[in-house]
Amino acid sequence: MRNNIKELRKAKGYRQEDLATALGVSRQTIIAIENNKYNPTLELAMKLARYLQTTVEELFTLEEDV
């Protein structure tokens, strides 16, 4: 699964630390999600979407096996 959280976060002028604090997670968690090293729980994905004022579908793209 890929995401565009980093791009949306930067476009809104948020730092990783701002996002982490607002969502109650560590900055390392935000880094891991942005680098596609960790897929967040559904709850965290929904919180991310709400905070970034978008939808979960806009944040994450499922990569299909071809």
Give 13-26 pLDDT, tens digit per residue: 999 999 999 999 99
- Pair of tokens at residue 34: 């942005």
Spatial separation of the C-alpha atoms in residues 39 and 27, rounded to whole Å: 15
pTM for the model: 0.88
Give 36-60 pLDDT, tens digit per residue: 999 999 999 999 999 999 999 999 9
